[in-house]
Structure 1
Amino acid sequence: MTGALPFPDISPEIFSISLFGMELALRWYALAYIVGIIIGWRLVVMALKAPRLWPNQTPPLSPGQTEDMLTWIILGVLLGGRIGYVLFYQPGTYLSDPLSIIAIWEGGMSFHGGMLGVILAFWLYTRRHKLPLLTTADAVAIGTPPGLLLGRMANFINAELWGRPTELPWGVVFPGQAAQYCPDIVGACARHPSQLYEAFLEGFVLLVVLLWMAWRRDGFKKPGLLTGVFLAGYGISRFLVEFVRQPDAQFISEGNPLGLAWHIGGYGLTMGQILSLPMILLGLWLITRARRRVAAPA
């Protein structure tokens, strides 16, 4: 295929060492999680140290409390992401071999499952410490996009979650299993670099919008507004990218070549789009609610 870009030769492992007979490796995906969490945590702390940003100049929690809450959120991401992947994408496979559910190192995490895990962990933490729910959620919202941006870039480096075949000049020829599902293409199968589309929309654009609203438009003074913008912004971004993202193999069949999780007469939605719709609706409801309410701690 003319105009296709070769996949950059980047190893998923940054380095590895042998220790007591075990091979220990630092991978780009793990580094993305670590750096994304650190950047997000520092953004939240910066916001909490600026009382002028908050209703009645009162931040919802102290900078020190963010470290404790971060532990809960990390557990929510890991447990929710794995359980969500099992339930949403491959329930039959994992129910036939339940022990494989704990094999996170083999891959298989769902963003939407991770989001549900974070929501549950966050709700439990705020109830336990009697924190204002919506203003605390707004603080967490501004710290989330950096992790999404770096995580999607790590997906690209790992040559996973690639897009559908394309003839556009920036299509990328991914290695490995990406060559499958291209029956009508002769030669190299170039695909949309959908991981980079998501990194730009869910990570960079969403981060810029949230920071602008928080520091320039008094976003924190309307409880729930920034949370709503994050949920709706992510949901819309993911919904749009799903049109060019290759669906999971288990959804693809001879009668369903587009891999739609729900379809009628050839038209329908992918699993990613179905799971994004509740986020969009909840986000829009929170935005509408916040704009109508008097600015006060929620």
Structure 2
Amino acid sequence: MPFLLIDFPAFNPVALQIGPFAIKWYALAYICGIVFGWLYARALLKSERLWGGPAPISLVQIDDFILWVTLGIIVGGRAGYVLFYNLPFFIDHPAAIFKLWEGGMSFHGGFLGCVVAVMWFAYRGGISILSLGDITTAVAPVGLLLGRIANFINGELWGRATDPSLPWAMIFPNDPMQLPRHPSQLYQAGLEGILLFAVLAIMIRFGALKRPGMILGAFILIYGLARIAGEHFREPDAQLGFLWGGLTMGMLLSIPMLIAGLILIVWAVRRGAPTPVQAIR
């Protein structure tokens, strides 16, 4: 029953244009995600109640860290896409690696880039790696939500074909098959953005930041679960398709996250909360 399909909105790919200067939706999502995440991080650091005393990271330090985590997201995200999703193409066209405006970023690569940024900045500043990881991942769902919404606006990374009778099935303009599909970008926005943010916020309210590594572990675990669930509705990248046993690259890259997240959570619970003296060292 095709008449039940929802027409995909005709979005302008350019979100903001001032003269010859144009910002596309995906770039705007990155900018807003980083700015809103930074503001939220500052708010969390100002609340001594959440940390059981003064936060182990100063406002000046988090301000300086924004530049490094931004570089980690961009460099790691691009490197991850090149290595995990389209390596043969980039081997043949190495100059295309630097054409970020043509798209192609990987969450898992961006996450690894953030890990490197967190470890380097924490070591350089003499602060807790786990606490910096906690505050970074506590705000990360904001960027994930905006990024998935930008995917939807761009009409990219659409879902798998579905029964036309599904009330919210859509035909995406850029889909060469013109099939009714799941709007999986919105599913992922809900899981990786709204749900993940809500769970972490509740954990923070009940004192999770007092146990270094708890929020970091919860983020890694829950994101991995959310990504695997979302991949069941998302169309695999055309150049990769389905891999072993019907798994997708997104699923395979998320499996190690489940293990790492569980290890961090168990470790944070067993280690316990540091005393206020330890927290402000």
TM range (shorter): over 0.9
Task: Give the letter for the 1:202 counterpart.
Answer: E
1:86 corresponds to which residue? 82
Take 2:271 and 2:63, find their aligned partners in 1: how far apart are those partners? Answer: 30
1:210-269 CA-to-partner distances (Å, cap 9, x unmatched) read 111112x11111111111111111111000111110011112xxxxxxx212x2xxx331
Could you say what secondary structure the match of 2:4 adopts?
Answer: coil
Any unmatched runs of 5+ in structure 2? none
Take 1:14 and 1:58, find their aligned partners in 2: how far apart are those partners? Answer: 40
Could you say what secondary structure the match of 1:60 adopts?
Answer: coil
Give me the identity figure in percent.
46
1:200 aligns with 2:190: yes
- Deviation at residue 38 of structure 1 after TM alignment: 1.3
Take 2:202 and 2:16, find their aligned partners in 1: how far apart are those partners? Answer: 37
1:244 aligns with 2:211: no
* Contact kept? 2:130, 2:212, Cα under 8 Å: yes
1:152 corresponds to which residue? 148
Q: Name whichever structure is richer in helix by fraction.
A: 2
Any unmatched runs of 5+ in structure 1? 181-187, 252-258
- Deviation at residue 28 of structure 1 after TM alignment: 1.4
1:146-175 CA-to-partner distances (Å, cap 9, x unmatched) read 110011000000000100001122111100
Where does structure 1 differ by over 6 angstroms across 4 or more consecutive aligned residues?
A: none
1:256 corresponds to which residue? none
* Contact kept? 2:151, 2:157, Cα under 8 Å: yes
Take 2:159 and 2:61, find their aligned partners in 1: how far apart are those partners? Answer: 40
* Contact kept? 2:118, 2:132, Cα under 8 Å: no
1:112 corresponds to which residue? 108
- Deviation at residue 58 of structure 1 after TM alignment: 2.8
1:190 aligns with 2:180: yes
Match of 2:21 among 3, 24, 27: 24
* Contact kept? 2:152, 2:158, Cα under 8 Å: yes
Relative to the length of structure 1, the TM-score reads: 0.88
Take 2:50 and 2:261, find their aligned partners in 1: how far apart are those partners? Answer: 21
Task: Give the letter for the 1:198 counterpart.
Answer: Q
1:212 aligns with 2:209: no
Kindly report the root-mean-square deviation, in angstroms, between the aligned alpha carbons of the 2 structures: 1.4
Could you say what secondary structure the match of 2:250 adopts?
Answer: helix
Take 2:182 and 2:126, find their aligned partners in 1: how far apart are those partners? Answer: 46
Task: Give the letter for the 1:228 counterpart.
Answer: G
Match of 2:169 among 127, 146, 171: 171
* Contact kept? 1:5, 1:190, Cα under 8 Å: no
Could you say what secondary structure the match of 1:288 adopts?
Answer: helix
Map 1:1-298; keep pairs closer than 5 Å.
1-18=2-19, 23-55=20-52, 57-167=53-163, 168-176=166-174, 178-180=175-177, 189-215=179-205, 217-251=206-240, 259-261=241-243, 263=244, 267-296=245-274
Task: Give the letter for the 1:7 counterpart.
Answer: F
* Contact kept? 2:75, 2:110, Cα under 8 Å: yes
- Deviation at residue 10 of structure 1 after TM alignment: 1.3
Could you say what secondary structure the match of 1:250 adopts?
Answer: coil
Could you say what secondary structure the match of 1:79 adopts?
Answer: helix
Task: Give the letter for the 1:268 counterpart.
Answer: G
